[in-house]
Amino acid sequence: MAQERIYRCGNEYTNNATVAKAQGCKLMEGGNITVIQGPAPQAAPRSASSPAAPRSAPRNDSAEQRARDSDARQILEMELRKAEERLAQAQKAYANGQPEKEGIESRNHQRYLDRVAELKAAVSRAEADVNGLRRELARMGGAPAAPGPAGPAPAAPGATGSSDPAAK
């Protein structure tokens, strides 16, 4: 079966020669052309649903929000204490890059160097965790005084405990 002539008018196609001449359409040449018309876009429902979304968003009263903030702060302070303990343990195990050799490490120096590198990475991760938790607490307001990146663990829990009355 032969296909009728198809004309392209911008993004539209037609097989009506009189309409094509009137609009200045171009004749499509080549193989068979199949055009499937899709559903027309519906702009009205989209614009109607946009204003409804913010209205349906739940609003928290200030007391409820303060309670949530207080709970979040307590959780972060608890996590900070745990992270500081992990940092102290990692620093103790690392022993400033000179940990005691264990077992076969006295005969296999590379194994010792690998363990020292792992301990150093553990110290770095623990320091990053502590610093991240301190930044998060500072963002919430009234964070504890932050010693240096490898600050002593005992000093920070005291600082954290002193900020508890201010949070209440």
Spatial contact of 138 and 51, defined as CB atoms under 8 Å apart: no
In the chain, where do the E strands start and end? 7-9, 12-14, 26-27
Q: How high is the mean pLDDT of the chain? A: 77
In the chain, the N- to C-terminal Cα span, in Å, equals 85
What is the pLDDT, as a whole number, of residue 100? 87
The mean pLDDT value for 61-83 works out to 90
Specify the long-range contacts of residues 39-42, CB closer than 8 Å, at least 24 apart: none
CA distance 36 to 137: 58
Spatial contact of 102 and 31, defined as CB atoms under 8 Å apart: no
The mean pLDDT value for 99-122 works out to 90
Confidence of residue 124 (pLDDT cuts 50, 70, 90): very high
CA distance 112 to 100: 9
The amino acid occupying position 25 is C
Q: Tell whether the model's pLDDT for residue 77 goes beyond 70.
A: yes
Q: Tell whether the model's pLDDT for residue 22 goes beyond 80.
A: yes
The pTM for the full model equals: 0.48
Residue 58 vs residues 86, 103, 118: alpha-carbon distances, Å: 39, 61, 47
Q: Tell whether the model's pLDDT for residue 166 goes beyond 90.
A: no
